[in-house]
Amino acid sequence: MELTIGLLALLLLLAVWLAWRQVNVEREIRRVAEAPPASLQLLQREVQALRSGVDERLREHVQQTGELSRRIGLLQKATENVESLGDGLGELQKILQPPQLRGAFGERLLEETLADMLPRDRFRLQYTYSTSGVRVDAVILLGDERLLPVDSKFPLDNFRRYVELRGCGSPDAETARRGFVRDVRGHVDDVSAKYIVPDEGTLDVAFMYIASESVFHEVAIAPLDEDGRCLAEYAQKKRVVPVSPNTLHAYLTVVRMGLKGFQLQESAREVLQHLSHLQSDVETLRSGLDTALKQARHSLANLSDVDAALGRVEGRLAGVTSGAVLEGR
């Protein structure tokens, strides 16, 4: 609105200046009307050139004013869109105000990240432990079939209160910060105690997913006590790793590379197993062939003996037959 008023004021000043200029030109024309003809013609040409210049300047100003008006319109439209977006974000913030809905929102973000980064058979959502019946938001199935638990239920009430009080300079901001630290510490204890269960096949570590980068940053630097320890150090001692959307993406990239290496290792193991089976089959065939050759050699020797015996019988038979013939004569 202020830009529009400024534009109208600029146009008004331009119109006043042009009117004043026109009056001065007409006054100059009347003054030289009684001048000699040669001087009058010269002045007329100068006036004509001046008018042409004024007209050209006026056209340029009109074009620039039109372009300025167009850009102001675009700026106003963009401003309206930003205001609409702000209203929408405000509504979203109200919608996510209840803890249950905030938790569902965090779980949804976690699910989308896992689905984008890992094969579907390499993670489970709402996984239930067999012995305790405890349900964790997600587990990542590693190459050795070990489980990496991931929790996404992060407390935000005191953090939001802390940010609001800090923004307005309230002395209660420090109290809210202590409440936030206390909430995070308690949540770290819960994640460590409930989800790190080696007997269930889990690793000796768990991820604590924080869906907001600003909250994750606060957790990373927030002091825990007067000794200078921070929440991240406390979580590390509890074998809990705080992760944000960005850091989880980096961790999952490493996990995915490890899974590919494991798949190559499994493929190589399968090839070796097939080669081992093939070698066993070859050895079986070799043994059968050797046995068959031995039997064939034995059979050949027997055939040679039979052939020799048959030859001897045939010789004797021939001798007997020829003796009988001679006696008959």
Query: 278-308, pLDDT tens digit by residue?
Result: 566 656 766 776 677 677 676 666 677 767 7
DSSP symbol at 122: G
Structure tokens at 55: 């007209």
- pLDDT grade for 214, boundaries at 50, 70 and 90: confident
- Quote the DSSP letter at residue 260: H
Evaluate if residue 272 carries a pLDDT over 50: no
Average pLDDT over residues 193-206: 92
d(CA 19, CA 209): 70
Tell me which DSSP letter residue 146 carries: -
Backbone CA torsion sign across 52, 57, 60, 65:
negative
What DSSP designation does 223 have? B
Q: pTM of the entire structure?
A: 0.52
Q: Is the pLDDT of residue 3 over 90?
A: no
pLDDT at residue 182 tops 70: yes
Quickly list H helices, the chain: 2-31, 37-95, 99-117, 157-167, 173-195, 213-221, 231-237, 245-328
The Cα–Cα gap between 234 and 213 comes to: 19
267 vs 219, more confident: 219
pLDDT at 267: 47
**Exposed e or buried b for every residue in 40-52, given b needs 16+ CB within 10 A?**
eeebeeeeeeeee
Record the tokens describing residue 104, joined without a space: 């569902």
**pLDDT digits 0-9 by tens, 273-286:** 554 555 666 567 66
What is the mean pLDDT of the segment spanning 4-11?
Answer: 61
The mean of the pLDDT values for the chain is 74
Report how far residue 129's alpha carbon sits from residue 327's, in angstroms, rounded to the nearest whole number: 109
CA atoms within 13 A on the CB side of 183: 18
pLDDT number for residue 206:
94
Residue 180's alpha-carbon distances to 113, 166, 173, 190, 303, in angstroms, are 26, 13, 10, 15, 100
Q: What count of other Cβ atoms lies within 10 Å of the Cβ of residue 252?
A: 21
Confidence (pLDDT) at 40: 55
Give me the residues paired with residue 123 across strands.
140
Q: What confidence score (pLDDT) does residue 92 get?
A: 42
pLDDT of 215 over the 50 cut: yes
In terms of average pLDDT, the best of 156-165, 233-242, 294-303 is 233-242
Between strands 206-209 and 147-151, the pairing is parallel
Rounded percentage of the chain residues whose pLDDT exceeds 90:
15
- From residue 153, alpha-carbon distances to 8, 14, 209 in Å are 56, 64, 8
Boundaries of every domain in the chain: 2-93, 100-260
| pLDDT > 80? residue 108 | yes
* pLDDT for residue 30: 64
